[in-house]
Amino acid sequence: MVILNWNGIGFLRQYLPLLVEHTTFKDVELVVADNNSSDGSQEYVKQMFPTIRLVEFSKNYGFAGGYNLALSKIEAKYFILLNSDVEVTKGWIEPLLDFLDKNENVAAVMPKVLSVHDRSMFEYAGAAGGYIDIFGYPFCRGRVFDHLEKDNCQYDDVAEVFWATGACLTIRSEVYKAVGGLDEHFFAHMEEIDLCWRVHWAGFRIFCVPQSLIFHYGGGALPKENPKKIFFNIRNSLYMMLKNLPLAYLPFILFCRLFFDAVAGFQFLLKKKPAFAWAVVRAWFSFFVKVPFYLNYRQKSHKTRVSKEWKKLVFHKSVVCSYFVLKKQTFSQIIK
C-alpha cells in the first residue's frame, strides 16, 4: 500500500494513525512515498512511524509519476493507491481484497467514498463508483458534477463501474504493469479514469465494493478554486479520449468536447473569472501539442485492445444536457 504525499504533513498527522490502527490485514506493507515535500513530512514519518517504509523523491513527480515510481519499488500481488487525505474505517481493506481473490476477471476495486466534512454525504472523488458519458464527462453513483447526494444506502450494492477513484484504488499488480500504469503526462487529475479505461480494453472488469468505507477530505493538493484544476481536468480529459476512443467516432466526439469547453470558458468570462477562461485555452494548446505523441501511442497499443465490453458502461447520452438542461441532478435520474 502506497500513500503518496506532497506537503501534506497535516493530513499525515490526522489520518496516518487511523490507517495504522484500522489496517489489520496481516500481509500489507505500508509505504509513504514523498514527492519532495518541504513541510517536514519526511521527518514526521521517520519519528512517529519508524516501521512504515518511507520512500523519498528528489522532486515532485505529481500524482501519476509519484505512484509509478513508488510502485516500481514494490513486489506485491495487489497494489493499493491511497491518498494522504483519506480516513479509513475499521476492516476497510478485507472486503476489497476478498472480492479480488474471488473474482479473477476483476482487476480493480474501490470502496464507498463519503465526505470528511459531512459524513452523511458522498464525496466528489469517486462516491460509489465512476462512469463517463459519450463525451468523456465523468460522473458517479452519488455525484453528478458538483451535486452530491446524501448516502441513504441507495448505492450499497456491489456494482460494476467504468472507473474507480484514485483516492483509494486497489488493483492487481500484474494488470497495473501490463497496461503501463498511470500516464505520467497527465501529472494529476483524470489519470485514474484513463488507467481504468485501459484496464477495460485489456479485458478486465472494475467494481465498487461499498462494504468497504472510507472518508475523503478532497482537494488537499489542489483546491477546487484553483485554475490549475480546470487546466488539468480539460487537458487530461482530451488526452484520455484521444488515447482510448475508437477511431471511427473520435473526430466527432473531440469536436463536441471542444465546443462544450468553449462554452465553459465563455461562462467563466461572464462570471469575471478570466484566469479560469485562460486555463481552458491553455489546456487546448497543451493538448494539441501532444496530439502526434498520442496518435503514435494508439498505433503501438492497438494489439493490447482485446475487449470492447467497456462500451456497456458508458452513458450513451450527454450528462451535460441531462444535468444542466433537463435538470436531472442524481445518478438514478440520469441513467433511467
Count Cβ atoms within 10 A of the Cβ of residue 227 and give its class: 0-12 exposed, 13-18 middle, 19 or more buried.
middle
pTM value is 0.96
Asked if 144 and 112 touch (Cβ cutoff 8 Å), the reply is no
Buried b (16+ CB within 10 A) or exposed e, 158-189: eeebbbbbbbbbbbbeebbeebebbbbbbbbb
In this structure, the number of other CB atoms found within 10 A of the CB of residue 315 comes to 18
Whether residue 328 is predicted with pLDDT greater than 90 in this model: the reply is yes
Instruction: Give tens-digit pLDDT for 225-238.
Output: 789 999 999 999 99
Query: How far apart are the C-alpha atoms of 153 and 155, rounded to whole Å?
Result: 5
Q: Which amino acid is at 207?
A: F
Instruction: Give tens-digit pLDDT for 178-196.
Output: 999 999 999 989 999 999 9
Mean pLDDT of the chain: 96
Is 157 strand, coil or helix? coil
Instruction: Give tens-digit pLDDT for 86-116.
Output: 999 999 999 999 999 999 999 999 999 999 9
Instruction: Give tens-digit pLDDT for 215-270.
Output: 999 876 666 678 999 999 999 999 999 999 999 999 999 999 999 999 999 999 99
Cα–chain-centroid distance for residue 262? 24
Confidence of residue 68 (pLDDT cuts 50, 70, 90): very high
Instruction: Give tens-digit pLDDT for 289-308.
Output: 999 999 999 998 888 899 99
Q: What is the pLDDT of residue 160?
A: 98
Instruction: Give tens-digit pLDDT for 39-64.
Output: 999 999 999 999 999 999 999 999 99
Closest CA to 170 of 41, 75, 79: 79
Q: What is the pLDDT of residue 336?
A: 87
Question: What are the C-alpha distances in Å from 173 to residues 75, 253, 287?
Answer: 8, 32, 30
Q: For a pLDDT cut of 90, what percent of the chain falls above it?
A: 94
Closest CA to 4 of 73, 58, 68: 68
